[in-house]
């Protein structure tokens, strides 16, 4: 097990690799599928992880962006992301990490207050996306730019 470093490998031409990290496998799979649906000039690779650190014996591509997915309905989700952050090199926090927070549309049912994740994103100086990904159609609308997403820096 090793710390993820942003400069371990050289970038690939016209290829980006995104690592989605969350304790919720179904949500990660749904998000990855919607990201890969659209055609673009560059190749997008999406890798899923339900924990960090990643095994060090695996030959993996350079990771260009890490997206930590936090569910506001689960304190466990926030706790695990806070643990995972310890396994990410500080160089990733220079524009290569963001937080995607789900469940923001149902504040009355939240176990984690939005201010908690806002402070977390501010501490790591990383963008924060607040949204509600409960419906598959809504998830695709976000990716296509048709649904509202609140972005905080």
pLDDT for 18-29, tens place per residue? 999 999 888 888
Measured CA to CA, the distance from residue 1 to residue 51 in angstroms comes to 11
> Which range has the worst mean pLDDT, 55-59, 69-73, 87-91, 129-133?
55-59
Q: Which of 26-35, 91-100, 127-136 has the highest mean pLDDT?
A: 91-100
Measured CA to CA, the distance from residue 83 to residue 52 in angstroms comes to 8
pLDDT for 97-133, tens place per residue? 999 998 877 666 788 988 999 999 999 999 999 887 6
Instruction: Tell me what pLDDT residue 68 has.
Output: 97
125-150: b or e for each residue (b if 16 or more CB lie within 10 Å)? ebebbbbbbeeeeebbebbeeebeee
């Amino acid at each position: 097990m090793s710390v993820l470093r942003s400069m371990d490998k050289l970038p690939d031409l016209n290829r980006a690799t995104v690592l989605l990290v969350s304790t919720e496998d179904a949500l990660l799979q749904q998000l990855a599928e919607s990201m890969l649906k659209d055609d673009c000039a560059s190749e997008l690779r999406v890798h899923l992880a339900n924990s960090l650190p990643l095994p060090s014996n695996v030959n993996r591509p350079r990771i260009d962006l890490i997206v930590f997915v936090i569910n506001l309905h689960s304190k466990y989700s926030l706790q695990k992301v806070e643990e995972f952050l310890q396994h990410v090199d500080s160089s990733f926090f220079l524009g290569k990490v963001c937080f995607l927070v789900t469940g923001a549309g149902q504040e009355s049912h939240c176990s984690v207050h939005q201010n908690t994740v806002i402070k977390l994103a501010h501490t790591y100086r990383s963008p924060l996306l607040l949204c509600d990904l409960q419906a598959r159609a809504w998830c695709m609308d976000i990716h296509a730019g048709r649904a509202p997403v609140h972005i905080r820096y």
